[in-house]
Amino acid sequence: MATILVTHGIPSEGFSLLSGEKIVIPKPLMQFSMDELAALIPAADAVVACGALPGEIIRRGRKLRIIAGYGAGYDGVDVRAAAECGIPVTNLPDTVTDSTAELAIGLMLAVSRRIGENSLRAREEAPENLFGMGKNMGRSLRGQTLGLLGCGRIGKRTAEIAAALGMRCIGYSRRGVNHPQVESVTLPELLAQSDVLSLHCPLTQETRRLLDRSALARMKQGSILINTARGAIVDCDALADALESGHLRGAGLDVYPDEPHIPPRLIMLPQVVLTPHIGTNTQETRLRMAEGCARQIADALAGKRPEHVVNGVE
At 12 the three-state DSSP class reads: coil
In terms of domains, do 38 and 157 share one? no
In terms of domains, do 132 and 81 share one? no
In terms of domains, do 75 and 173 share one? no
- Residue 314's pLDDT is 83
Is residue 3 exposed (0-12), middle (13-18) or buried (19+ Cβ within 10 Å)?
middle
For 20, the domain range is 3-95+283-301
Q: Which residues contact 164 (CB under 8 A, 6 or more apart)?
A: none
At 180 the three-state DSSP class reads: coil
Alpha-carbon dihedral sign for residues 161, 154, 186, 141? positive
In terms of domains, do 126 and 217 share one? yes
- Residue 26's pLDDT is 97
In terms of domains, do 288 and 209 share one? no
Q: Which residues are catalytic?
A: 230, 259, 277
- Residue 134's pLDDT is 84
On whether residue 314 sits in a domain, the answer given is no
In terms of domains, do 153 and 258 share one? yes
Q: What is the mean pLDDT of each run of 10 residues along the chain (314 residues)?
A: 97 93 96 98 98 97 98 94 98 95 98 95 90 90 98 97 98 93 97 98 95 98 98 98 98 97 97 97 95 97 97 92
In terms of domains, do 253 and 291 share one? no
The reported pTM is: 0.91
On whether residue 312 sits in a domain, the answer given is no
On whether residue 309 sits in a domain, the answer given is no
The residues pairing with 301 across neighbouring beta strands, listed in sequence order, are none
Q: How far apart are CA 7 and CA 116, in angstroms?
A: 33
Name the nearest CA neighbour of 158 among 221, 207, 90, 226. Answer: 226
Q: How far is CA 243 from CA 4, 97, 175, in A?
A: 45, 29, 30
In terms of domains, do 108 and 181 share one? yes
Structural domain count, the chain: 2
Which residue, 274, 291, 309, sits at the end of a domain?
Answer: 274
The CATH number of whichever domain residue 67 belongs to comes to 3.40.50.720
On whether residue 42 sits in a domain, the answer given is yes
On whether residue 46 sits in a domain, the answer given is yes
Tell me: the pLDDT tens digits for 113-152? Answer: 999 999 999 999 998 889 988 889 999 999 999 999 999 9
Instruction: Tell me the one-letter amino acid at 60.
Output: R
- Residue 210's pLDDT is 98
In terms of domains, do 75 and 146 share one? no
Q: Please, what is the Cα angle at 257 between 255 and 261, to 5 degrees?
A: 80
Q: How far apart are CA 255 and CA 239, in angstroms?
A: 13
For the chain, how many residues are written?
314
In terms of domains, do 71 and 189 share one? no
On whether residue 219 sits in a domain, the answer given is yes
On whether residue 146 sits in a domain, the answer given is yes
In terms of domains, do 64 and 102 share one? no
Q: How far apart are CA 67 and CA 74, in angstroms?
A: 10
In terms of domains, do 148 and 130 share one? yes
On whether residue 311 sits in a domain, the answer given is no
